[in-house]
Structure 1
Amino acid sequence: MSESDLPVPSIPNARDAVRALRPSQIREVANAGFGVDDVLPFWFGESDRVTPSFIRDSASAALAAGATFYTHNLGIAPLRAALARYVSELHGPTSPDHVAVTSAGVNALMLAAQLVVGAGDRVVAVTPLWPNLVEIPKILGAHVETVALGYGERGWQLDIERLLAALTPDTRMLLINSPNNPTGWVMSRDEQRTVLAHCRRHGIWLVADEVYERLYYADADPGASGPHSRTAPSFLDLAGRDERVICVNSFSKAWLMTGWRLGWIVAPATLMDDLGKLVEYNTSCAPAFVQQAGITAVEQGERFTQELVLDLKASRDHLVRALSAVPGVDVKAPPGAMYLFFSMPGASRSLELCKAMVREVGLGVAPGSAFGPQGEGFVRWCYACDTARLDAGVERLKQFLAQRAAP
């Protein structure tokens, strides 16, 4: 048989579910900024400040002491205990048996989905939403349906009846991110109570992404006291620890540890053995020296976090005032997270608009379409930086709009 008679090999491709995943439009805009001088980047969800020194020093000391070996799949016992104390103070009694350490918040979300979702399952998500949450169940072969927040005079709001109607008895899992990325919407205690009761009635797993719970401004007051003055409403305030509720959190936002890739899960104790297997087959464990830094963050970082929230609230208010003065911009101050999600001229094609702003004036914001079809018509601006930088960005926005309006 000659070579010409051999069958032509098929093109090697990933499986269909993976090929169908949405690429990151935020990354697409950021890539458009490569080679552009003096870009002001507000597109990613992180502060422009480094992790505080007391946390960095803790990691350095752990490295120097040789904390470079494998650890327990679910995390070192001192960190699980520290997280249990932290969660207990904020949300009521929580045992280390209900806590697992993960290699980042997004890893926690993947593990949570792997625990309870399989091929053909029905998942409901409240959107607009960070794309990872919507796409993760699809990797596992699940079908994701969305319920959109509405935007109006009071900012972003949930139609609770519409969500309940979508949570049919054949729903396997509900995904809720509150405070929400990108909108800053925060689910109220009454809404949480209603949704939890509905999920209990139908045996629906509830996965709550509460990564931004500490970035909550409704009660951001230096004189406030008590746990609920320091956190957004949480499903952990209402649910028993052994219900079908999995809460995901991260060190990234409250302690500015985005690059450290450390998170945690609060879940029923009956899941922990199986969760340990999944951690083993995904990452084995989080790095030991990073976990030591996590202990320091939880045990010594409360004052830092409270000061950070006050700084972020001031930046939020500053940017809202500045953007409100720009003709054509419609912006509301959200109660949580670290973003403004607002409409502006040209945002009906937000990806194209954001690429143009990068190229023409060096302003980098995220397109609303990156957060699903329900986000089209808006752009997301991360305000976790100093006000001078925000002012410079607003001036570039004005310049861009003026150029577009010129005959």
Structure 2
Amino acid sequence: MTHAETATPPDLAGTLSPRMQGIGTSQIGLVADRGRDDPEVVKLWIGEGDLPTPPFVVEAAHRAMLAGHTRYATSLGLPRLREALSAYHARHWGVDVPAERFAVTAGGMNAIMQAAQALLEPGDEIVIPSPAWPNLAEAVRITGGVPVTVPYRVQADGRFALPLADIEAALTPRTRAIVVNSPSNPTGWIMPLDEMKALRDLARARGLWIVADEVYAHFAYGNAIAPSFLQICTEDDRLIVTNTFSKNWAMTGWRAGWLIAPRGLAPTFAKLGQYNTTSIPTFIQHAAVTALEEGDGFIRQMVGRCAESREILVEGLSRLPGVTVSVPEGAFYLMARVAGPGTPRPEETSLAIAFRLLAEAKVGVAPGTAFGPEGEGFIRLCFAISPGLAREAVARLSAVLGR
């Protein structure tokens, strides 16, 4: 063994760019790393359902591979896939979005990253309601921007709200865009259509962009489907909509998503797609067409299943002393306040609670502070699971939190 093989490797982290040194560490990952290999843990920490990708999607990918669809594709995505995306939006939201406004991306995260790359210069600010999916702020930081958080307000009934005046108060001369994730991860909040119109008008008046993350639109409880900014904006508005195949069709590992840009920006996103990923695998794009054209029934199955598990978790956790449940209107996450004033352990942090529930209840949850300091005192649970597993999670959590 040589000296080079035994020597302590140099710490090169400090030699990276300051921007990269400032990237945050996922608190969800900190918790998951302690229990991801434990088969006894009920894993509710990550935004991923427990159903496999439906067979008709898997079979479509297999057929495409056998047919030789294993070569490069255009960076914007296969024309057939972009046409299928156009038809999908017409079918569900009644909007006419031409295929040339779509760009296929390597999942929803790459769609967010491309939006940030397209919009931001160093120092530009993006307003993000918080608690928020942490990847939103990190994508802004990676591209040199500055995330500016606006806390949701918690109403008397525990539900979240986002007054337009709070967004407006956060705007500065450096503001470039406003991010809206509706239905929201992690809060389950859905932006009402009249508030979407008011935000659109504010953005128009100030010359701002709206980045609409509409990944969970089908997961709306009590409504047929969550409203989309596409229903109230024109093709010339400063609007970028991001989405993914991950949630609706249980395709998290396939890394396929899309964005919708204003008219005339296809060349820009063709270049961004080329320089980010070149393209996503061609056979996956063929499978994505099948998901869009044949997958509405699977979406209904997923949403119905989530609705039942949501009720189990809401009802079960609401009974526990010192636990306040924010009933989610949409998405498949539940936030529960388990620490802070009026709770049995007011001094315990969200991260400490998540570690304790993992150790004592064998339930993996995400600490609220994974989604920003506004999440302190909360835990987040993913309920894209079977009703049976939801009941088991309630029983285990009640045994610990109910003490």
TM-score range, shorter chain: over 0.9
Give the aligned partner of residue 3 of structure 1: none
Give the aligned partner of residue 304 of structure 1: 298
Residue 20 of structure 2 aligns to a residue whose secondary structure is helix
1:26 aligns with 2:28: yes
Give the aligned partner of residue 226 of structure 1: none
* Cα deviation digits, residues 2-56 of structure 1 (max 9, x gap): xxxxxxx994532111111111100110011156451110001011010111111
- Contact 1:244 1:268 (C-alpha < 8 Å) held by counterparts: yes
Give the aligned partner of residue 198 of structure 1: 202
- Contact 1:213 1:232 (C-alpha < 8 Å) held by counterparts: yes
CA distance in 1, matches of 2:143, 2:107: 19
AA partner of residue 251 (structure 2): M
AA partner of residue 304 (structure 1): F
AA partner of residue 28 (structure 1): L
Residue 215 of structure 1 aligns to a residue whose secondary structure is coil
CA distance in 2, matches of 1:360, 1:330: 20
- Contact 2:69 2:283 (C-alpha < 8 Å) held by counterparts: yes
* Cα deviation digits, residues 154-210 of structure 1 (max 9, x gap): 311112211122234541111111100001000010111001101011110110100
Query: Which has the higher mean CA deviation after the structures are superposed, 152-161 or 183-192?
Result: 152-161
Give the aligned partner of residue 277 of structure 2: 283
Residue 48 of structure 2 aligns to a residue whose secondary structure is coil
1:159 aligns with 2:163: yes
- Contact 1:169 1:202 (C-alpha < 8 Å) held by counterparts: no
CA distance in 1, matches of 2:262, 2:277: 21
CA distance in 1, matches of 2:114, 2:353: 35
* Cα deviation digits, residues 81-122 of structure 1 (max 9, x gap): 000111123241110111111110000000011011111112
1:385 aligns with 2:380: no
Task: Show the 5 A alignment for 1:103-142.
Answer: 103-142=106-145
CA distance in 1, matches of 2:35, 2:300: 34
CA distance in 1, matches of 2:284, 2:37: 34
The alpha-carbon deviation at position 352 of structure 1 amounts to 1.2
CA distance in 2, matches of 1:214, 1:68: 31
In structure 2, list runs of 5 or more residues that go unmatched.
1-9, 340-344
CA distance in 2, matches of 1:243, 1:169: 20
Query: Which has the higher mean CA deviation after the structures are superposed, 166-175 or 9-18?
Result: 9-18
Give the aligned partner of residue 52 of structure 2: 50
CA distance in 2, matches of 1:46, 1:59: 21
Give the aligned partner of residue 16 of structure 1: 18
Residue 270 of structure 1 aligns to a residue whose secondary structure is coil
- Contact 1:37 1:362 (C-alpha < 8 Å) held by counterparts: no
RMSD (CA atoms): 1.6
Residue 178 of structure 2 aligns to a residue whose secondary structure is strand
CA distance in 1, matches of 2:160, 2:36: 33
Give the aligned partner of residue 241 of structure 1: 235
Task: Show the 5 A alignment for 1:192-231.
Answer: 192-219=196-223, 229=224, 231=225
Task: Show the 5 A alignment for 1:55-94.
Answer: 55-89=57-91, 90-94=93-97
- Contact 2:317 2:398 (C-alpha < 8 Å) held by counterparts: no
CA distance in 1, matches of 2:38, 2:49: 21
Query: Which has the higher mean CA deviation after the structures are superposed, 301-310 or 46-55?
Result: 301-310
Question: For the structure 1 residues 37 and 296, does the alpha-carbon distance in structure 2 shift closer, same or farther, using more than 3 Å as the test?
Answer: closer
AA partner of residue 149 (structure 1): Y
- Contact 2:130 2:151 (C-alpha < 8 Å) held by counterparts: yes
Question: For the structure 1 residues 397 and 123, does the alpha-carbon distance in structure 2 shift closer, same or farther, using more than 3 Å as the test?
Answer: same
Residue 33 of structure 2 aligns to a residue whose secondary structure is helix
Question: For the structure 1 residues 212 and 37, does the alpha-carbon distance in structure 2 shift closer, same or farther, using more than 3 Å as the test?
Answer: closer
Give the aligned partner of residue 357 of structure 1: 357
Moved over 6 A (4+): none
Give the aligned partner of residue 317 of structure 2: 323
Query: Which has the higher mean CA deviation after the structures are superposed, 140-149 or 169-178?
Result: 169-178
AA partner of residue 207 (structure 2): G
The alpha-carbon deviation at position 360 of structure 1 amounts to 2.4
Give the aligned partner of residue 181 of structure 1: 185
Residue 46 of structure 1 aligns to a residue whose secondary structure is coil
Give the aligned partner of residue 250 of structure 1: 244
Give the aligned partner of residue 102 of structure 1: 105
AA partner of residue 256 (structure 1): A
CA distance in 2, matches of 1:57, 1:153: 49
Residue 290 of structure 1 aligns to a residue whose secondary structure is helix
The alpha-carbon deviation at position 372 of structure 1 amounts to 0.3
Question: For the structure 1 residues 201 and 360, does the alpha-carbon distance in structure 2 shift closer, same or farther, using more than 3 Å as the test?
Answer: same
* Cα deviation digits, residues 278-307 of structure 1 (max 9, x gap): 111110001111101110011111122123
Question: For the structure 1 residues 240 and 383, does the alpha-carbon distance in structure 2 shift closer, same or farther, using more than 3 Å as the test?
Answer: same
CA distance in 1, matches of 2:235, 2:190: 22
1:313 aligns with 2:307: yes
Residue 349 of structure 2 aligns to a residue whose secondary structure is helix
